Amino acid sequence: MYQAPRGTSDILPPEQRYWSYIKQTAAAICELYGYQRIDTPTFEDAHLFVRSIGEDTDIVEKEMYSFEDKGGDQITLRPEGTAPVCRAYVEHGMHNLPQPVRLYYMAAIFRYERPQAGRYREHHQFGVEALGDADPALDAEVIGIAWQLYVNLGLKRLALSLNSIGCSDCRPRYLESLKTYYTQHKDSLCPDCKRRLAKNTLRLLDCKNPACLAPTEQAPRSIDYLCPECADHFDQLKSYLNLLNLPFSLSHRLVRGLDYYTRTVFEIAPEGETGSQVAIGGGGRYDNLIEQLGGKPTPAVGFATGIERLVLNLKKQDVVVPALPPPTVFVAYLGKEARDEAMKLTSHLRKSRISAIASLSERSLKAQLKQANVSGARYAIIIGDDEVKSKTVVLRNMAKGEQQTVPIDKVAETFR
């Protein structure tokens, strides 16, 4: 027996209403904020991700699905959505458009992780990227989109954590101080952190290993090392968030798992929950990434949210999600002539944009009405010999059990 690969899932019909609820809510918010949809390929040149996400990150070190294709190219299945959007921005000369360019995506993401609840090897993200402006008002806008998404979905008790990790001017001084601090505590660090101490010190703040949590509590804070420009940017962002009534708390441990961030970083998680798979969304600024990928210097900010984690939280919080519309009509028949009429009528209904399922094969009326019930159809149409002769159908309201006779050529009209 074949099974879906470990860490992947089938999204079966009963689950689909969560997915369409989330996607529709997200698309409606993007429309409100003037963000346009972009779709990028499922796979890209492997170097794009190594360059963007950073060689010393978990994603690049351990989690990428990479392979050489038959033409000898190094390919990676998209492990995140920001780098491909930046690649597309540069490739299509989007710097010529009015800035910022506001884009959103919904895409499958692949990471070879240890699967557990809320953490999968294939997951899906909704994300937004606003490219071409450094104004902290744009950071506030992106955070506002995230927050409005969660509120509109009906999620409650969420917490927004915020930090600023500075820019290429002020970060080196901070990293020096962080390195000195962690070197003093090297013996108590986990093996990964010991190794990363020299090359990617910032990552240590993010380590979830219990051994590293205690030293990190007392570690130097990036906000104490910001240059005047970054400090001003962060102060403005905080005042905009207050202005927009977006509640946040500062978290000096928040650095995020990707190397491209500058200045603002943020994450949203259910209140009081900690751990590596609880964040439902996160993002930040990445002012150097587009230039690193060969574009002009272009400041940008974005965020992404995991759709599976949203589904988990909607269920956990018992949010009532609208059901997908059932078919309007189930067409039942008795006898061969009635069957031909049923086929013609079903086809006519669909052309008239009335959703219809036709009964198949010879079954008793009782069995067919049972099927109609299971299908969720609001009406059943019944055609028997008498109806064929009189060119009518019996139209039954399934919930009320009421029936009426309607001329067969007036059925679509009756529904409209």
| Count of residues that bind ligand HAM according to CB under 6 A | 27
State the nearest-atom distance from the C-beta of 126 to ligand HAM, in Å: 9
Among 19, 38, 57, 81, binds ligand HAM (CB under 6 A): 81
State the nearest-atom distance from the C-beta of 61 to ligand HAM, in Å: 14
C-beta of 153 vs 329, nearer to ligand HAM: 153
Site string for ligand HAM, 219-258 (x = CB under 6 A): --------------------------------------xx
Note whether 173 and 196 are within 8 A (CB): no
Among 127, 144, 220, 299, binds ligand HAM (CB under 6 A): 127
CA gyration radius, the chain? 28
C-beta of 215 vs 282, nearer to ligand HAM: 282
C-beta of 257 vs 327, nearer to ligand HAM: 257
Among 58, 113, 139, 341, binds ligand HAM (CB under 6 A): 113
Q: Which two tokens stand for residue 300?
A: 């940008």
Q: Tell me the C-alpha distance between 404 and 395, whole Å.
A: 5
| The amino acid at 204 | L
C-beta of 220 vs 270, nearer to ligand HAM: 270
* Segment lying near ligand HAM (by CB under 6 A), choices 34-42, 234-242, 278-286, 339-347: 278-286
Give the E-state strand segments of 151-224 in sequence order.
158-164
The CA-based angle 309-200-224, given to 5 degrees, is 85
Site string for ligand HAM, 355-394 (x = CB under 6 A): ----------------------------------------
**DSSP type of residue 141:** H
Could you tell me which of 216, 160, 229 has the C-alpha nearest to residue 190?
216
C-beta of 275 vs 294, nearer to ligand HAM: 275
State the nearest-atom distance from the C-beta of 375 to ligand HAM, in Å: 33
State the nearest-atom distance from the C-beta of 283 to ligand HAM, in Å: 4
Q: Tell me the C-alpha distance between 416 and 412, whole Å.
A: 6
Does position 84 interact with ligand HAM (CB under 6 A)? The reply is: no
Q: Tell me the C-alpha distance between 388 and 391, whole Å.
A: 5
Could you tell me which of 125, 126, 119, 124 has the C-alpha nearest to residue 6?
119
**DSSP type of residue 378:** S
Among 84, 270, 282, 299, binds ligand HAM (CB under 6 A): 282
Instruction: Provide the sign of the torsion angle of the four alpha carbons 291, 292, 295, 301, taken in this order.
Output: negative
Note whether 300 and 289 are within 8 A (CB): yes
Q: How far are the Cα atoms of 13, 93, 110, 111, 365 from residue 2, in angstroms, in the given order?
A: 20, 45, 20, 21, 38
Return residues touching ligand HAM (CB under 6 A).
Answer: 80-82, 111, 113, 118-120, 123, 125, 127, 129, 257-258, 279-284, 302-306, 308-309
